[in-house]
Every structure is written in C-alpha cells, then in structure tokens.
C-alpha cells in the first residue's frame, strides 16, 4: 500500500473539475506507474454481484487492468445486497486501502459509510451507478454511463420504428438502482411525446436472464397477443424474454419487437439474427478509466467530478458489422 498523508482541503479547481478528495501519495509518479514496494497501490472494489453478462465483463475489466498496472485489487462480491457492499467498504477502510471503488446496487443509503471513508482519508470512486447523497463531497468522482440517455435512445428508436405496434411491456432492472430508475424515467418521458405507444405492464426481472424469462412467461399468460413490444432494461432480461416468447410459439423480433440496453455480444448477435430489434450500448469496460481517475486523485491532480461514457445504438443497420469488434 502507498504511504498515506492526510487529505488536503478541497482544491480550488474550476467548477467543472471540482474535486472533493485530494489524498496524496508519497510520490504521484510512483502511483501512476503502479510501482511495487510501499508505493504499490491497493484498491478495494465493492461490486454489486454477478447478475448479468454485463456485470461479468465489468468485473473482468477492473481485474485485468489492475493486473496490467500492478495494482492490488481487493474484490468483494455484494451478491446483490447493499448491506454486503457496506460491510465490504468498512473492511476496506479497516485494511487501509488507498482507494475504494463502489458499484452501488441501489442509489440511496450510502452517506454514513461514505462519511467513514472520507474521515479515513480514503477516496471513493463511484462506478457505473450513481448514488443519491446529501453531500457530493463524500465521494471523489463518478465514472459511468448516462442511463437516462440510454432510455431516451431506446424510446426514440421505438417511436421511429414501431410502425402500427402500440402495446409495450417493460422488464425493469433491480428496483432502487440508478440504472432501473433512470432507464424507466427516460423511457416514460419520451413516450409522453408519443401517445400511440403505451406501457401495458411493467415488472422487475432484477437484471437477470432467468427472471426475465419467468416474468415474460407470466406476462404472456396475462396479456397474450396484446403484447407487441418488449422494453427490457438490460440484455440478459431481453434474452430471457426471447426464450419465453419462442416457447410460447411466437417469433421474437417479428410477432413481438424487442428493445433493450447493454449491447453485450450475444444481444448484438440476436439483433443481427433478427430476434432482437435494437440494443443500446452501456459499455462496462471501465477498468482503464477507473485507475486513471484513482491515480490522478492520489497524485493530487484535479479530476472530473462526473464522467460519462458515450454509448451507441445497434439495430439491423449496423449490428452484423459491429460484431467482430465487440469486446464484451
Ligand atoms: O448498472 C448497469 C446495469 O447493471 C447493466 O445494464 C446491467 O446489465 C447490469 O447488471
């Protein structure tokens, strides 16, 4: 672990580059180089769990990049429970790690443990999903995707391509997560401009393939042929829904249009095959950006408080061409 000096007070950086944490290492360049010895960087990572293919790619990205840089990564699988993640963060604090990465399962309830990390002079980088906090200075930076924008892109695509289809069922992600909250809100906001499109049922599949399938089976029983479109908050649930639709004797992509988010390789393949109609990217490969951010923070350099990936959309026009270069 690096030798730690107490936090300096907040840097008077420009508003866009406002930095809440300024932990300093013995030598910033040691940290940036990921040197071994007492300057080797140790990072604690409180992951949500392993609910989806996206999540596995995200975990691998942080693990592989840590290995490349000689960073010691302490990994904790939250098994989809916030209390497990909070326990993990407390344990990282007790171990005196140099920085902590949290992929928060839900948005609320983080302030007490973030305050403990700040008191211990350990910067926290929030990754992937945002936290709702009363004090933005409790975490050093956020690195993630714009979930609202993803939901908007999915709805706009549908508004242009749904034809005379009107009835949508929604498969929601983990309740209380920023990803589900924002994707749901953006989609509803966009649909308000297209009154022909309406959500006839909306239930959670917790971002999991098996649950997406079960929920879709139940929806098919309840609504039958009335279902014309599925909007899934992630690809795993969409792929589960596709199984349920096929088992019900219907043709996914034709009888029922499928629109989803993540753009995992399997889903982009399903789009190319015509079983899914569109998937909006949510890139999980945050490893390099996360450690660049941590190394900058520990070197006392200003970092963007919130930084978002730019995501693409894949449909029949570009899915097949994109397949060979998909990395997750
Ligand atoms: O927070 C990102 C979401 O979490 C992804 O869309 C989903 O697949 C994952 O489990």
- Distance, CA of 295 to CA of 299 (rounded, Å): 6
For residue 181, the CA-to-ligand 1 centroid distance in Å is 12
Its domain, for residue 86, covers 11-145+284-309
179 touches 217 (CB < 8 A): no
| Residue 77 domain-assigned (yes or no) | yes
Q: Are residues 121 and 181 in the same domain?
A: no
Q: Are residues 203 and 303 in the same domain?
A: no
For residue 30, the CA-to-ligand 1 centroid distance in Å is 34
101 touches 46 (CB < 8 A): yes
What pLDDT score was predicted for residue 23?
40
Helix, strand, coil share (%) of the chain residues, nearest 5:
45, 20, 35
Q: Are residues 20 and 86 in the same domain?
A: yes
pLDDT per residue, tens digit, the chain (328 aa), is 776 544 433 333 333 343 344 343 333 334 344 444 457 999 999 999 999 999 999 999 999 999 999 999 999 999 999 999 999 999 999 999 999 999 999 999 999 999 999 999 999 999 999 999 999 999 999 999 999 999 999 999 999 999 999 999 999 999 999 999 999 999 999 999 999 999 999 999 999 999 999 999 999 999 999 999 999 999 999 999 999 999 999 999 999 999 999 999 999 999 999 999 999 999 999 999 999 999 999 999 999 999 999 999 999 999 999 999 999 9
- The residue whose CA has the least distance to atom 2 of ligand 1 is 179
Please name the residue that has the structure tokens 């079960």: 214
- Distance, CA of 209 to CA of 270 (rounded, Å): 15
Q: Are residues 153 and 227 in the same domain?
A: yes
What pLDDT score was predicted for residue 38?
57
For residue 234, the CA-to-ligand 1 centroid distance in Å is 6
Q: Are residues 32 and 57 in the same domain?
A: yes
What pLDDT score was predicted for residue 4?
59
Of the candidates 266, 271, 48, the residue with the CA atom closest to the CA atom of residue 144: 48
| Residue 328 domain-assigned (yes or no) | no
For residue 7, the CA-to-ligand 1 centroid distance in Å is 33
Q: Are residues 215 and 275 in the same domain?
A: yes
For residue 4, the CA-to-ligand 1 centroid distance in Å is 34
Please name the residue that has the structure tokens 């995501």: 311
Query: Which residue from 46, 49, 54 has its CB within 8 A of the most atoms of ligand 1, so it is best to mutate?
Result: 54
What pTM did the predictor assign? 0.91
Q: Are residues 24 and 139 in the same domain?
A: yes
| Residue 316 domain-assigned (yes or no) | no
Q: Are residues 301 and 206 in the same domain?
A: no
CATH number of the domain to which 300 belongs: 3.40.50.2300
| Residue 82 domain-assigned (yes or no) | yes
Query: Which residue from 61, 150, 173 has its CB within 8 A of the most atoms of ligand 1, so it is best to mutate?
Result: 173
Q: From residue 317, how far is each of 206, 231, 258, 278, 313 by CA, in Å? A: 30, 19, 15, 10, 10
Q: Are residues 164 and 265 in the same domain?
A: yes
222 touches 167 (CB < 8 A): no
How many domains does the structure of the chain reveal? 2
Q: Are residues 278 and 294 in the same domain?
A: no
- Distance, CA of 200 to CA of 193 (rounded, Å): 17
Of the candidates 159, 158, 113, the residue with the CA atom closest to the CA atom of residue 139: 113
Q: Are residues 29 and 95 in the same domain?
A: yes
Tokens of 119: 């008191």
Q: Are residues 168 and 117 in the same domain?
A: no
Q: Which residues sit with their C-beta closer than 6 Å to ligand 1?
A: 51-52, 54-55, 128-129, 179, 207, 234, 236, 261-262, 282
For residue 103, the CA-to-ligand 1 centroid distance in Å is 10
What pLDDT score was predicted for residue 293?
98
What pLDDT score was predicted for residue 150?
98
- Distance, CA of 8 to CA of 318 (rounded, Å): 49
């Amino acid at each position: 672990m690096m030798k730690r000096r107490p936090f300096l007070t907040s840097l008077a950086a420009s508003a866009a580059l406002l930095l809440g944490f300024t932990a300093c290492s013995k030598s910033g360049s040691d940290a940036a180089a990921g040197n071994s010895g007492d300057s080797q960087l140790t990072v604690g990572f409180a992951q949500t769990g392993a609910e989806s293919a996206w999540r596995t790619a995200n975990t691998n990205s942080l693990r592989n990049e840590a290995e490349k840089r000689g960073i010691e990564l302490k990994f904790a699988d939250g098994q989809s429970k916030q209390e497990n993640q909070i326990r993990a963060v407390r344990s990282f604090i007790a171990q005196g790690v140099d920085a902590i990465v949290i992929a928060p399962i839900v948005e609320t309830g983080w302030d007490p443990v973030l305050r403990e990390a700040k008191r211990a002079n350990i910067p926290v980088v929030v990754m992937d999903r945002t936290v709702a906090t009363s004090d933005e200075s409790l975490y050093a930076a956020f690195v993630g995707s714009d979930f609202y924008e993803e939901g908007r892109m999915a709805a706009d695509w549908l508004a242009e391509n749904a034809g005379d289809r009107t009835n949508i069922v929604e498969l929601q992600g983990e309740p209380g997560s920023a990803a589900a909250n924002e994707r749901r809100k953006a989609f509803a906001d966009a649909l308000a401009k297209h009154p022909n499109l309406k959500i006839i049922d909306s239930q959670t599949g917790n971002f999991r393939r098996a649950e997406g399938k079960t929920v879709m089976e139940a929806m098919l029983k309840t609504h039958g042929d009335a279902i014309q479109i599925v909007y899934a908050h992630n690809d795993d649930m969409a792929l589960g829904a596709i199984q349920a639709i096929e088992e019900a004797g219907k043709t996914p992509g034709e009888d029922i249009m499928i629109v989803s988010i993540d753009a995992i390789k399997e889903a982009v393949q399903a789009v190319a095959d015509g079983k899914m109609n569109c998937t909006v990217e949510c890139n999980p490969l945050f490893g390099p950006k996360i450690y660049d951010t941590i190394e900058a923070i520990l070197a006392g350099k200003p970092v963007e408080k919130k930084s978002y990936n730019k995501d693409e959309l894949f449909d029949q026009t570009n899915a097949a061409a994109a397949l060979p270069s998909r990395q997750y």
